[in-house]
Structure 1
Amino acid sequence: MKRIEFHDRKQETKEIIDILDAEPSLITFIYGPINSGKTALVTHLIDHLSEDYKVFYINLRGRFISNYDDFIKVLFDVEHVARYERIKEFLKPVAAVLPESYNGIPIPKDTFLKLFKEKEIEDVFVYIETVLRVFYESGRVPVLVIDELQVIGDMKIDGHLIYKLFNFFVRLTKELHLAHVFVVTSDSLFLEQVYSEAMLSGRREYLRVDDFGYEQTMAFLDGYGWGEQEKEIAWHNAGGKPVSLVKLINAKASGKNIEDVVSSMFTLRTGEIETRLKIVKELGDELVIGDKHFDVHHGKLVSVLEMFISRDEVGADEIDEISKRYLVKENILFADPLTKMIKPQSQLDLLAIRDVVA
């Protein structure tokens, strides 16, 4: 498989660097359609930050979190005794000897077991704040990155955990100016919840990472020796979706015909959407919002999708809430609460939708 290099996110990178250059004061939500390159952007930036920063990166993607035990297991990177035999005290020398970035908050095993046993979420926050303060006072700016935070959902630990986390993030940024906090998500329903949350008003900012535009896509494919006709085929069928472009690059490198590959991708996606609609039509489905259950109607879903036959995006107020939430949850549509516009998750989705409902 051909190695794919990170490509042209200069504007987004500049915006993040500008945030890091300022005093920590707001929670930054990095969002966008699925597979638009958000995590790639963040990890690339982490790898290239100066030694002035100490990054703690926590990736919740693919993790099942249903209770306190699950949560702290993914939150911390447990340090075993052998490592700490080289460190006389944890909190002072650690600032100088740990790596530039960490996949979790570093913690001695005995401290971790204590938190695990006592199950006090406030103690967890106190510990994290203490660690971050040590780095801050050593001249390193702590940067806390939580990828796919929405995974914790409505989990409760003496109340909804998400609200406790938001309050903690506000304390780290707005109140103490101790650490930069970035929350990365591709879940636009979660972002919509965040956007409407009064407790975060004036305490958050947003950075959208979208698929590549036309010029970015052309330049990206140029780097792999693509001809003009092949580039246009890719753009028309896959748009600027990085994950789709990578798939096409690897397919071409292995000798496959690009038109055959995009045809296969289109057939697969069309079939997935048709199957989802068929299930709703024949078996029914429901959406749970809070404690309430709402029926999903096949006819309304089709009516929503028909709007995209002649349009690339529609206003959120043009679509009924249940259909919108369902199609977003199924990763068919992407809703941006900031612009109040809704569009298919990708160019491939747009073409598949038009084929299914035409």
Structure 2
Amino acid sequence: MRFWDRKGELKFLKAYLRSAPNAILFVYGPKSSGKSTLMKELMRKLRGKNNIIYYDFRGKLLRAYKSFSDLLFKAVSFEESPDFFRLDEKVKDALSKGEANPFEVLEERLKRTKVNSVLIMDEVQKLKNLYFHSPIGDGGVLEELLNFFVRITKVEHLSHVVLLTSDTFFIEELCSKSFLANCVEYFLVDFFPNDLAKQILISERLNEAEASYVVSWCGGVPWFLERVISRRKLLGVRESVRSL
């Protein structure tokens, strides 16, 4: 999905990530509100200035990962530094045998990083009900990870942690856990206001009447706006709206 005006959101997130890590940040909002697109634009702007570690769990078969080590070191979708996850054979062997704690390995690497680190997980709710049995604990993956994230943010201030989800019930369930008290913050990415959605459509060369018609049916949902814009030359504006 293309990136449209999110100046306010980008300004907040860039300022937030310039501060010392002190909490887990949940970026939430309705489906198709543009959370992932916003995060990718933010990553583009941060490249070269931050150590970005990005996991996108969308479309991944998470049960194929057999351990915390696999999840942390192999499921990563993007890393700013190609050497960050490059492990020597001794460490790899210890991790595969369960003789090394993957969280300790990752924490040590964060400590060595000379620039600010930002760890991002998109579609984090997919980790719910995923379990690994390992020497560091037989609990759910999510709870183990969140405990680790509290440590690297609020306790050690080593890295920002940004978790994206559209499942607000999932967030409520998580944040009822006592160990997360005073350890999380929230940032809403909502649909565009109707007036901004209309401005976007006009900037994409729809006329006033066409833009008003689209907004009356689609509101400010970024995904709908993009579909109409991409199809209008073939189908026309009204038929593009009806085809959604």
TM over 0.5: yes
Counterpart of 1:125 in structure 2 is 103
Q: Deviation per CA, 1:145-165, whole angstroms, max 9, x where unpaired?
A: 111111111122311111111
Give the length in aligned residue pairs: 237
Give, in whole Å, the separation in 2 of the partners of 1:107 and 1:190.
Answer: 33
8 Å Cα contact 1:68-1:119 kept in structure 2: no
Uncovered stretches (5+) of structure 1, i.e. residues with no partner: 79-98, 266-358
Structure 1 CA distance, aligned partners of 2:23 and 2:125?
19
Q: CA deviation at 1:223?
A: 2.0
Counterpart residue type for residue 242 of structure 1: P
Does the aligned pair in 1 maintain the 2:68–2:141 contact within 8 Å?
Answer: no
Aligned to 2:128: 153
In structure 2, what is the equivalent of residue 42 of structure 1?
Answer: 39
Give the structure 2 partner of residue 63 of structure 1.
Answer: 60
> What amino acid is the match of 2:15?
D
1:177 pairs with 2:157:
yes
1:238 aligns with 2:218: yes
Contact conserved, 1:132 with 1:142, CA < 8 A, in 2? yes
- Distance change (3 Å), C-alpha of 1:110 and 1:236: farther
Measure, in 2, the Cα distance between the counterparts of 1:103 and 1:264. Answer: 43
- Taking the aligned partners of 1:263 and 1:103, their CA distance within structure 2 comes to 46
Higher strand share: 1
Name the SS for the 1:184 alignment partner.
strand
Of 179, 196, 209, the match for 1:229: 209
Contact 1:46–1:101 under 8 Å retained in 2? no
Separation (CA, whole Å) in 1 of partners of 2:117 and 2:164: 17
Among residues 153, 158, 162, which one is paired with 2:142 in the alignment? 162
Q: Is the 8 A contact 1:77 1:104 kept in 2?
A: no
51-60 vs 23-32, which moves further: 51-60
Name structure 2 gaps, 5 residues minimum.
Answer: 133-137
Aligned with residue 6 of structure 1, among 3, 6, 10: 3
The one-letter amino acid paired with 2:110 is L
Q: Which amino acid aligns with 1:258?
A: V
Contact 1:57 1:103 in 2 (8 A): no
**Correspondence list, 1:201-216, <5 A:** 201-216=181-196
Q: Give the aligned partner of residue 143 of structure 1.
A: 118
- Quote the residue 2:170 is aligned against: 190
Cα contact 2:65–2:71 (8 A) shared by 1: no
Which one has the largest radius of gyration?
1
Identity of aligned pairs, percent? 30
How far apart in 1 are the matches of 2:193 and 2:82?
Answer: 31
Provide TM-score, normalisation by structure 1.
Answer: 0.61
How far apart, in 1, do the equivalents of 2:71 and 2:226 lie? 29
Deviations 1:264-288 (A, max 9, x none): 32xxxxxxxxxxxxxxxxxxxxxxx
Cα RMSD between the aligned structures?
2.5
Q: Secondary structure at the match of 1:144?
A: strand
Distance 2:90 2:225 in 1: 45
- Alpha-carbon deviations, 1:248-307, whole Å to 9, x = none? 000013x21221222232xxxxxxxxxxxxxxxxxxxxxxxxxxxxxxxxxxxxxxxxxx
Report the Cα distance in structure 1 between the residues aligned to 2:139 and 2:79, rounded to whole angstroms.
34
SS in 1 for 2:62: coil
Of structures 1 and 2, the one with the larger relative CO (CA 8 A, separation 6+) is 2
Q: For residues 131 and 167 of structure 1, do their structure 2 counterparts lie closer, same or farther at Cα, with a shift above 3 Å needed? A: same
Aligned in 2, Cα 1:63/1:148: closer, same or farther, shift over 3 Å? same
Alpha-carbon separation, structure 2, partners of 1:112 and 1:59: 25
1:208 Cα deviation after fit: 0.5
Distance 1:20 1:212 in 2: 23
Residues 54 and 79 in structure 2, CA contact (< 8 A), matched pair in contact too: no
**Following TM superposition, by how much is the alpha carbon of 1:170 offset from its aligned partner in structure 2, in angstroms?**
0.4
Task: State the SS of the aligned residue for 1:234.
Answer: helix
Q: What secondary structure does 1:231 align onto?
A: helix
Change (3 A) 1:262 1:70: farther
The TM-score with structure 2 as length reference comes to 0.87
2:213 aligned partner, one-letter code:
I
- The answer to whether the Cα contact below 8 Å between 1:65 and 1:71 also exists between their aligned partners in 2 is no
Change (3 A) 1:62 1:118: same
Q: Is residue 125–residue 170 contact of structure 2 (8 Å, CA) maintained in 1?
A: yes
